Amino acid sequence: MSRDARTDKATDFRAILTKIKGERPDIIMYGGMDATAGPLARQSRQLALHSKLLFGDGACTTDLNKLAGDATDSVACSARRTALEKMPDGAVFTQKFQARFGQPVQIYAPHSSDTVYILVDAMKRANSTKRAAILATIPHTKYSGVSGLVQFDEHGDLQQSAISLVNYKEGKKNLLEIVKL
């Protein structure tokens, strides 16, 4: 195992990939965003690396195929959420989002939408817009939104959380599994 880092603006990974190639790893984990993960995947293919690429949710977007070209077949991603297509209201949300914004649903749009409604609900239940009152009310939330039922435990963590695992085959993103936490 080895570790290296680049800035969030880096797009030339050839030097580090050449070094990595000599180590012949099974997997290369990259925690960056799609704008840098795409070039990393493309350059990995150009250098004939045969390692699988494991990216986090910031890279697992609708733009990754454009940014990586034909180099996504070795990519798998983990995302700290339930996949949109498996959300209870995912299809309806997708239709409304695309009609309103004219583009595909962005990675955290469903959760952002739920968050806004949870905050508004907490303000109503607290009968206040004061931070302390809202924060005291949120742990008692029981909200059914796009992403499903949202409730928190005594530590403030989501009671029902998930990680979605996806891969890309022939330029298409495929859901592999949803791991419930």
Q: In the predicted model, is pLDDT for residue 97 greater than 90?
A: yes
Stated as kind and residue range, the H or E segment containing 161 is none
β-strand 142-145 against 172-180: which pairing, if any? unpaired
Q: How confident is the model at residue 7 (pLDDT cuts 50, 70, 90)?
A: low
Tens-digit pLDDT profile for residues 56-68: 988 988 788 889 9
Q: To the nearest whole number, what is the mean pLDDT of the chain?
A: 89
14-80+161-180 classified as CATH 3.40.50.720? no
pLDDT digits (tens, 9 = 90+) for 130-161: 999 999 999 999 999 998 889 988 777 888 88
Res 29: pLDDT = 93
The upper half-sphere exposure of residue 39, i.e. CA atoms within 13 Å in the direction of its Cβ, equals 14
62-89 average pLDDT score:
86
Are 72 and 174 contacting, i.e. CB atoms less than 8 angstroms apart?
no
Query: Quick one: pLDDT at residue 106?
Result: 84
Cα end-to-end distance, the chain, whole Å: 27
Task: For the chain, count helices (H), then strands (E).
Answer: 6, 7
Task: Provide the pLDDT for residue 8.
Answer: 67
Which pair of structure tokens corresponds to residue 116? 């806004």
- Please enumerate in sequence order all residues whose Cβ is within 8 A of that of 65, keeping only pairs 6 or more positions apart, or say none: 72, 168, 171, 173
